[in-house]
A and B are shown apart, each in its own frame.
Chain A
């Protein structure tokens, strides 16, 4: 019996429904995500995609600035883009499970007849993608430090702020993933992935690669209402240290204030996502589409 199996067989797991749903789903998610015929391909997958997305930005930046990658603002842009990898991975990781279980493995019916917490099951299934995203993030940041001299050092990182911000950010993203998962329950399987599409669209509003001031005033509102904006800002500050030159958008907020906003928004998102998810399950059952199979 492996360690994971032993852990899942412990009496605590057997007693605690929520914990069991989450951990078994996380284990299952990892089995599925890592079940590649070729581990080399799996490693490439974890690196190639994020590095490519960062390189698009680097090329765009250097085409216009004639390769002036040593400007302090570049580190901000680079890190914003790198951290954004987690947005796509976490929200897709959680929401895609609905399609995967419903239309690929066709176990939606069975899952909903099991005594478990389905919302936590979805979140658990997303853990594998979070891990892959984290590995990608570390690789991309490491790549930036070596190749583009992004000024990050372990000594200057504000660790408490960084860790708090990551925890809150990931919680917020998981909740957003759950909302999209709930939405997916009522949608057909399309050729694009909802999580990816939403992550791509929200890229516009969160100040990841350009300051919100560049947007028209009416669009900026969306950015200010989107918790990821604050998460990216405070995480970049924690990583780059006090001397970092950032975007002007949120300079009037201290790290503490940013963290407080994140706590509030994470709480709201968690409560909101759970309620929305419950409503979506009810609605899907009402319409009889919980286990529908759609294709065209």
Chain B
């Protein structure tokens, strides 16, 4: 999280000018979400007013096309700009440059039309009124979306049943645990039958079972109607892999790749990946003596676990493995086990960004509040 006050350096006028000068967004009816060169800059002030503001680029030239009926994932570490992008698309934040549309409407100008069609659920949300019950809170939000009371109650009952919250229907929300509250927020996001749902880390704080239920619900919801679209951000690679039709990898405000999980993984598939469990490797060698320097090794992650070392290796070709084994032996270590892996989205991310997804990049100029 970035500290201090945030202020945007440009006014609406300059945004409009940017839109006029830049290429106009040509809306495509088949697209549910479309962004063209979307950028967003924040100004961060220190604790005192006189402190010089620091500009932080949260999004830079983001181009995305999400089709109707698609469950689209945004993958990136903390501070990559995922939440900023969702806020721009959900009409909560203006882009500093570029254009974006949701269900064919411009996010700057056609706010009313977009809001009728969308909904947003964020992980760790604390919305609602503590003195109201789960049912009352959901009813209130359903009414804000124009649902009549009967429809609202029917949908609330049905959806609470889906997420297993029926027995807490009449509990005050101040009495709910974090996980139960998150389930309620999840229900809130779908109660209004939106066309497009932005799910920002929706399974944050949920236990394994609840997260599985939520994922199941998301899949069913998408299947029910061909027009529906979900834009999902998540840290959990397996979640993205399981749910998403396509995935965009985003880092430091930029989209690095966008494709189906299968195609993204295929990019690495020609490079064999091995996990080796070996004995202690002895003293750290000089740069040239490290595993990274072994011919044929493209990437390596070394983890010390319980007295042995795990090496995750991406090799240029399978025969490079013999070089690695010779290197290990040369360092006085022994091979304990060896496993050939299929690449995961995590591997794709590491390959593209050069670091793990768990590294926070917000201080490098990524998004805010993630």
Question: Out of B49, B126, B174, which one reaches A37, CB within 8 Å?
Answer: B49
Report B117-162 residues with CB < 8 Å from chain A CB: 126, 129-132
Q: How far is the CA of A88 from the CA of B45 in the complex (A)?
A: 35
Report A242-296 residues with CB < 8 Å from chain B CB: 292-296
Shortest C-beta distance, B205 to chain A (Å), equals: 15
A295 proximity list for chain B (CB < 8 A): 129-131
B130 proximity list for chain A (CB < 8 A): 188, 292-296
Q: How far is the CA of A24 from the CA of B49 in the complex (A)?
A: 24
Whether B174 contacts A294 by the Cβ 8 Å rule is yes
A188 proximity list for chain B (CB < 8 A): 130-131
Q: Which interface residue of B49, B126, B129, B130 has the most chain A CB atoms within 10 A? A: B130
B131 proximity list for chain A (CB < 8 A): 188, 294-296
Q: How far is the CA of A169 from the CA of B358 in the complex (A)?
A: 55
B174 proximity list for chain A (CB < 8 A): 292-294
Shortest C-beta distance, B43 to chain A (Å), equals: 15
Shortest C-beta distance, A187 to chain B (Å), equals: 12
Shortest C-beta distance, B5 to chain A (Å), equals: 9
Shortest C-beta distance, B45 to chain A (Å), equals: 11
How many residues on chain A are close to B (CB under 8 Å)?
7
Whether B49 contacts A296 by the Cβ 8 Å rule is no
Whether A293 contacts B49 by the Cβ 8 Å rule is no
Shortest C-beta distance, A293 to chain B (Å), equals: 5
How many residues on chain B are close to A (CB under 8 Å)?
7
Among residues of B, the one whose C-beta sits closest to the C-beta of A31 is B47
Q: How far is the CA of A296 from the CA of B133 in the complex (A)?
A: 11
Among residues of B, the one whose C-beta sits closest to the C-beta of A288 is B175
Shortest C-beta distance, B3 to chain A (Å), equals: 13
Shortest C-beta distance, B136 to chain A (Å), equals: 10
Shortest C-beta distance, B185 to chain A (Å), equals: 14
Q: How far is the CA of A292 from the CA of B126 in the complex (A)?
A: 12
A37 proximity list for chain B (CB < 8 A): 49
Q: How far is the CA of A182 from the CA of B47 in the complex (A)?
A: 33
Q: A98-118 CB contact bits vs B (8 Å, 1 = yes)?
A: 000000000000000000000
Q: How far is the CA of A294 from the CA of B130 in the complex (A)?
A: 4
Q: How far is the CA of A188 from the CA of B174 in the complex (A)?
A: 11
Among residues of B, the one whose C-beta sits closest to the C-beta of A291 is B174
Shortest C-beta distance, A70 to chain B (Å), equals: 46
Among residues of B, the one whose C-beta sits closest to the C-beta of A35 is B47
Among residues of B, the one whose C-beta sits closest to the C-beta of A289 is B174
Q: B223-259 CB contact bits vs A (8 Å, 1 = yes)?
A: 0000000000000000000000000000000000000
Whether B126 contacts A296 by the Cβ 8 Å rule is no
Report B85-136 residues with CB < 8 Å from chain A CB: 126, 129-132
Among residues of A, the one whose C-beta sits closest to the C-beta of B126 is A293
Q: A12-25 CB contact bits vs B (8 Å, 1 = yes)?
A: 00000000000000
Report B155-191 residues with CB < 8 Å from chain A CB: 174
Report B30-80 residues with CB < 8 Å from chain A CB: 49
Q: How far is the CA of A73 from the CA of B309 in the complex (A)?
A: 87
Report A186-202 residues with CB < 8 Å from chain B CB: 188
Report A98-146 residues with CB < 8 Å from chain B CB: none
14 A–B contacts, CB within 8 A, in A order:
A37-B49, A188-B130, A188-B131, A292-B130, A293-B126, A293-B130, A294-B130, A294-B131, A294-B174, A295-B129, A295-B131, A296-B129, A296-B130, A296-B132
Give me the 9 closest cross-chain CB pairs, A-B, nearest first.
A296-B131, A294-B130, A293-B130, A295-B129, A292-B174, A296-B129, A295-B130, A293-B174, A294-B131
Given contacts A293-B130, A295-B130, 16 further A-B contacts (CB under 8 A): A37-B49, A188-B130, A188-B131, A292-B130, A292-B174, A293-B126, A293-B174, A294-B130, A294-B131, A294-B174, A295-B129, A295-B131, A296-B129, A296-B130, A296-B131, A296-B132
